[in-house]
Amino acid sequence: MICKIPVPTPYDIGPVNSYLLKSRPYTLIDPGPETAEGREYLIRSLAGAGVRIEEIERIVLTHSHTDHCGLARWMAETAGAKVYVHEREIPKFGRDYDYLKERIPFLLEAGMPPKWIEKVSSIKNPLPRPELPEDGVVAVQGGEILDMEECSLQVLHLPGHSSGHICLYEREGQNLFSGDFLLKHISPNPLIEPVPENPRCRLESLRQYLDGLSILEKMAVRVVWPGHGENIDDCREAVSKAQKHHKDRLEVVLSVLDNKSMNTFQAMQVIYPQIKDFEVYLGVSEVLAHLDYLCKEGSAVCENREGVLYYRRNGAN
């Protein structure tokens, strides 16, 4: 009843997994990126599963990243399907939404040199900006149950990688569709995200992510169906691996502050000396999320020096 469709993407990460739940109303999780190749692959795969596009009645998006949801608008309009997406992701589909521009104040605060900000901003995304259809968008908040004839999906709001990231739990078969929240071989980046009600402040993305892992840890999950790569048979093991990854990373970030105070960009350069291109943004995001966490738990302290935040180990000079 679950068809896994690995739709190709132009990104290094490789295909994005789209999932067809073949129980009425037919539901598709993450249709994949807006490319001719992706579209053809999806149509062919659905046909292989004996389903015409017009039969899809519901599209659910785990988050707004373009590799997962670029085809949502086309598919919804072709099929007349409704698109379910978390309310916090909806503004990110706006025509004037500029992902990096919204984050520039945080990057400057992180000590990222303007020439690097310019460089990262000028890297062109090979995929077009995703759009939602004009009609038929259903905003979810988490907690909703999406019923089908033979099963149901519970919406779980699990932010950290994106503020409105959702996972879907199919209770009858104990299947978890994890989007980018839990992947087999990579740990998703806790990304910089402004607080919607107060855009000058950042969300505590790592704290949110770790809280989400604690929720998953207690759930009965038979199989995890991730947004990229192979399925995960042991959810608890994957959760504890992710928890350990961030615990180790917190120690690494803290050890960098042992001898001198640093801003996020400087710490990032020590931890990832080889990093380049768009990865610089991801590296800054990752280190900043860990620094925020360390400050909150009291292991590090932060000082604002002329608009740039410097960190040191608590107790060190």
Least distance CB 13 / Zn ion (angstroms):
6
CB 28 → Zn ion: shortest distance, Å? 16
The half-sphere exposure of 78 on its side-chain side, counting CA atoms within 13 A, is 14
Q: Residue 210 has which token pair?
A: 């770790």
**Of residues 203-232, those binding Zn ion (CB under 5 A):** 227
Beta carbon of residue 310, minimum distance to Zn ion (angstroms, whole number): 33
Taking CB atoms, the residue at the shortest distance from Zn ion is 180
CA distance 244 to 83: 35
Q: Which is nearer to Zn ion, 161 or 249 (CB)?
A: 161
Looking at this protein, which amino acid is placed at residue 179? Answer: G
Choice between 13 and 195, CB closer to Zn ion: 13
Q: Which stretch binds Zn ion (CB under 5 A): 41-49, 175-183, 246-254, 283-291?
A: 175-183
Q: How far is the CB of 213 from Zn ion (least distance, A)?
A: 18
Instruction: Tell me the site size for Zn ion, rule CB under 5 A.
Output: 2
Cis peptide before 25 (omega within 30 of 0): yes
89 is an interface residue for Zn ion by CB under 5 A: no
Residue 216 or residue 262: which is nearer to Zn ion going by CB?
216
Burial 118-137, CB ≥16 within 10 A → b, else e: ebbbeeeeebebbbbbeebb
Rounded to a whole number of angstroms, the minimum distance from the CB of residue 12 to Zn ion is 11
Whichever of 7 and 20 has its CB closer to Zn ion, that residue is 7
CA distance 264 to 51: 49
Q: Which of 30, 89, 170, 180 binds Zn ion (CB under 5 A)?
A: 180
Residue 313 — φ and ψ, nearest 5°?
Answer: -65, 140
Residue 64 burial (CB count, 10 A) = 25
Site residues, Zn ion (CB under 5 A):
180, 227
